[in-house]
Amino acid sequence: MTPRSATATKSDLSRAAIVERALTVMDDDGPDAVTIRRIAQEFGVTPMALYWHVANKDELLAAMGDALLADVAPPPATGAWHVQLRGVVDNLIASLSQHPAAAGLVFPRILATESGLRITEFTLALLEDAGFARKQAADLARMGLQTAMMLVTQLPGAENQAAAEERDRLQAEKRAHVESLPNDLYPRVRAAAVDLTDCDDEAAYYAFGVDLYIEGAQAQLRRVKRAAG
């Protein structure tokens, strides 16, 4: 296999460069394409050269998850609690959507990195100060991350777990299957074939998903306060 970049040489090799190249490979060719051998080929070096920077594939995957979290910062600590909570989820989506195929790597790293711990601490304090009990705050903080991951990884039509050249074909096959369903049994599914298999407005899609999470959190807090009398 020819390295993706003709200018990549052994002198380019660093942990950060390896992680960034691995994220690009996952975006382009799907998760299964990320192996030590493949990333070494991308740089035109032997796999042994990578082991100076990452011990194995598991460490590489962990570092990829850490890289996605590295740029996630808490939003400004101003405004209503639910506005700040929306900022947390929006910031997560902004980072994860840069490399959607790798978004699933973030969840196991959220409590293992300084940036992940910082955003978690901010969110827990925000929710507890708003009136949620500690357990409720922890559940809501977790669900905020899960919401961001779900929205990014399940973007209609993205098919980001497959290689890039396969995605249009998979999307077309899925839509064709839906449109071929018996109309007497699934009229609404057929009518929504395009909406179910494609996303023509990512910003609106993300905003709607975050709205559901935030409005659910607000409704839950109202119930908590009513129960407390």
What average pLDDT does the segment 93-120 reach?
94
The number of angstroms, rounded, from the C-alpha of 80 to the middle of its chain's C-alpha atoms is: 26
Query: How much is the pLDDT for 161?
Result: 76
Q: HEC states along the chain?
A: CCCCCCCCCHHHCCHHHHHHHHHHHHHHHCHHHCCHHHHHHHHCCCHHHHCCCCCCHHHHHHHHHHHHHHCCCCCCCCCCHHHHHHHHHHHHHHHHCCCHHHHHHCHHHCCCCHHHHHHHHHHHHHHHHHCCCHHHHHHHHHHHHHHHHHHHHCCCCCCCCCCHHHHHHHHHHHHHHHHCCCCCCCHHHHHCHHHHHCCCCHHHHHHHHHHHHHHHHHHHHHHHHHHCC
- The model's pLDDT over 171-202, given as tens digits with 9 standing for 90+, comes to 889 899 999 999 999 999 999 999 999 989 99
- The model's pLDDT over 202-228, given as tens digits with 9 standing for 90+, comes to 999 999 999 999 999 999 999 998 988
Q: Which CATH class is domain 10-54?
A: mainly alpha
- Residue ranges per structural domain of the chain: 10-54, 69-155+199-227, 164-197
What integer best gives the mean pLDDT of the chain?
91
Residue 81 has pLDDT above 90, yes or no: yes
Q: What superfamily in CATH does domain 69-155+199-227 come from?
A: Tetracycline Repressor, domain 2 (1.10.357.10)
- The model's pLDDT over 24-74, given as tens digits with 9 standing for 90+, comes to 999 999 899 999 999 999 999 999 999 999 999 999 999 999 999 998 999
